[in-house]
Amino acid sequence: AQKVTQAQTEISVVEKEDVTLDCVYETRDTTYYLFWYKQPPSGELVFLIRRNSFDEQNEISGRYSWNFQKSTSSFNFTITASQVVDSAVYFCALSEYFDYGGSQGNLIFGKGTKLSVKP
Amino acid sequence: DVKVTQSSRYLVKRTGEKVFLECVQDMDHENMFWYRQDPGLGLRLIYFSYDVKMKEKGDIPEGYSVSREKKERFSLILESASTNQTSMYLCASKRDRPNYGYTFGSGTRLTVV
């Protein structure tokens, strides 16, 4: 069965600190997708990144970076020089790669990590 | 800009009322989903639909039903609202292929009194 674990329920940092959000997943599939979403206090989940299991290259987008390690089944998310606007709940998710319809391709979410960035 | 629109941002209903939560997407996505979100419990899938008139139970379907008469609209129905259904409800949609993940609506915060 597929499962996503975000062990950190809440993290609190001071502005400008770096912070890493952990995500560990379980799947029997050899090919799959991993995602990160951000949910600010307004409520809407916003897509951040999608990574397929073929590509283990790390990705950087501005202050955000993602470290995908297939060997440890982890897909961690780092925010460099955090800002108050980064305060949100962050969700990691997993889905099958080949979507033949029905429930295939549905995302399996972790429980989320609430990040508070204090000024 | 592509959108998933939920009809109400905040809703207050009385116990026993029949409640309709509406969700409309303009992306021609095949799949639509209803989640509820509660503190400490993450996102829990209530129902999903992978085609018009098709519906599948998620993890917590009890007390809910759904309707998908048109591709763009997916309605969540609380037949007889109860206080334990007070929650944030999130609608999402997804294309079959390629799998770009979900697009979410902004949520409906429902309070049942």
pLDDT tens digit sequence for B11-65 = 999 999 999 999 999 999 999 999 999 998 999 999 999 999 999 999 999 999 9
Give residue B54's identity as a one-letter amino acid code. M
Structure token pair of residue B36: 């509820």
From chain A, the residues in CB contact with B43 under 8 A are 91, 109, 112
A99/B101 CB distance under 8 A: no
The enclosing H or E element of B8 equals: none
Interface of B with A in 49-78 (CB under 8 A): 50-51, 56
CA distances from A63 to A6, A9, A12, A66, A79 (A): 21, 22, 18, 10, 6
* pLDDT interval class at B100 (50, 70, 90): confident
Q: Which of the four pLDDT bands, split at 50, 70 and 90, describes residue B1?
A: low
Model confidence pLDDT, tens digit, residues A23-42:
999 999 888 999 999 999 98
**Chain B: residue nearest A104 by CA?**
B96
Average pLDDT over residues B1-16: 92
Nearest alpha-carbon partner for B101 in A119, A69, A34? A34
